[in-house]
């Protein structure tokens, strides 16, 4: 008996593998076809944008038309408006500069007038202090500062008088005390008294001429002192018979009169001095006085 032949080994089947490869190929083809149908593979160079339409390409290629007359007129009008605006701005700037200059001049004028008014007030205060016989104090410093350049002699006269002041009341009281001495000629030599008595026997004068009698002269001198006319009072006292005995009174009365004249000059300087008047800070007052300006015109 023959033995049965050996059983052949079972070979693996490749059909499933072929089916899988074929399915994958078909699936890839379907995907590629779908993407191509959607336009994802359109030709475009790197960095290029979307293709322009034919109408847009023609518009870009055609030359730009020349501006019309209306557009040219509008452009010219716009340029004219800009130039007009620029010119108006320049005019406004010039007008503003003029106003600033006027304000500057007005400020200087106000400052100068204020300095003159202050100087005048200082002079008035000085006069009141002298009338009371009081010390000047700070008024003396202000006189030197404001009027020292313009009226140095007047300032020195006022300050010197303030150190030894004499009032009208004192002058009048002293004049009354000198009445017996002034009416008599006891201080004169005998020959002088005799000559004066003989000359007074016959006097020819006009009716309007003041009486030369000693009593009348003394009364006039007293009235002059009361009214502040010290210089006229001095002239009457000097003509009295006893004038040598009133030398001290005459000297004080003259100092009083000089101080008053100096004060008058200082007050006038405060109003009219054009160059050398100074303000409270010591600066020159450059603004002319309104009174001086009216006189110049």
pLDDT the model gives residue 81:
67
> Do 165 and 133 form a contact (C-beta atoms < 8 A)?
yes
In DSSP terms, which residues pair with 284 in a beta bridge?
278
pLDDT the model gives residue 255:
96
Q: What angle do CA 278, 281, 284 make, to 5 degrees?
A: 30
Cα 185 to Cα 246: distance, rounded to the nearest angstrom:
12
pLDDT the model gives residue 26:
78
pLDDT the model gives residue 46:
47
pLDDT the model gives residue 68:
65
pLDDT the model gives residue 230:
94
Encode the chain (297 residues) as per-residue pLDDT tens digits.
444 444 444 455 677 777 777 777 777 777 777 777 766 555 444 444 454 455 555 454 555 555 566 767 677 667 666 666 655 666 666 666 666 766 555 555 566 778 888 899 999 999 999 999 988 989 999 999 999 999 999 999 999 999 999 999 999 999 999 988 887 755 555 545 555 555 555 445 454 545 457 778 889 999 999 998 999 999 999 988 888 889 999 999 999 999 999 999 999 998 888 778 888 787 888 777 666 655 444
Q: How many CB atoms lie within 10 A of CB 217?
A: 22
pLDDT the model gives residue 129:
93
pLDDT the model gives residue 233:
94
């Amino acid at each position: 008996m023959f033995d049965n032949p050996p059983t052949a080994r079972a070979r693996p089947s490749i059909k499933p593998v072929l089916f899988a490869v074929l399915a994958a190929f078909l699936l890839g083809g379907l995907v590629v076809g779908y993407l191509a149908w959607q336009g994802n593979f359109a030709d475009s160079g790197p960095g290029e944008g979307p293709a322009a339409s034919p109408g847009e390409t023609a518009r870009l290629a055609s030359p730009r038309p020349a501006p019309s007359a209306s557009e040219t007129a509008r452009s010219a009008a716009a340029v004219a408006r800009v130039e007009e605006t620029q010119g108006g701005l320049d005019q406004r700037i010039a007008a503003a500069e003029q106003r600033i200059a006027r304000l500057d001049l007005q400020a200087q004028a106000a400052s100068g007038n204020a300095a003159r008014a202050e100087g005048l007030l200082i002079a008035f205060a000085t006069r009141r202090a002298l009338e009371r016989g009081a010390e000047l104090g700070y008024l003396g410093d202000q006189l030197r500062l404001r009027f020292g350049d313009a009226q140095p002699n007047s300032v020195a006269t006022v300050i010197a008088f303030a150190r030894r002041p004499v009032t009208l009341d004192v002058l009048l009281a002293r004049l009354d005390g000198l009445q017996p001495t002034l009416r008599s000629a006891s201080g004169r030599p005998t020959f002088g008294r005799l000559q004066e008595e003989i000359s007074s026997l016959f006097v020819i004068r006009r009716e309007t001429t003041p009486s030369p009698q000693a009593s009348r002269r003394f009364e006039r001198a007293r009235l002059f002192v009361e009214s502040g006319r010290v210089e006229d009072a001095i002239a009457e006292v000097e003509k009295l018979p006893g004038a040598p005995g009133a030398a001290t009174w005459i000297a004080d009365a003259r100092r009083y009169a000089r101080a008053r004249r100096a004060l008058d000059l200082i007050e006038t300087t405060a109003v009219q001095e054009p160059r050398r008047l100074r303000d409270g800070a010591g600066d020159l007052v450059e603004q002319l006085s309104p009174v001086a300006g009216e006189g110049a015109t």
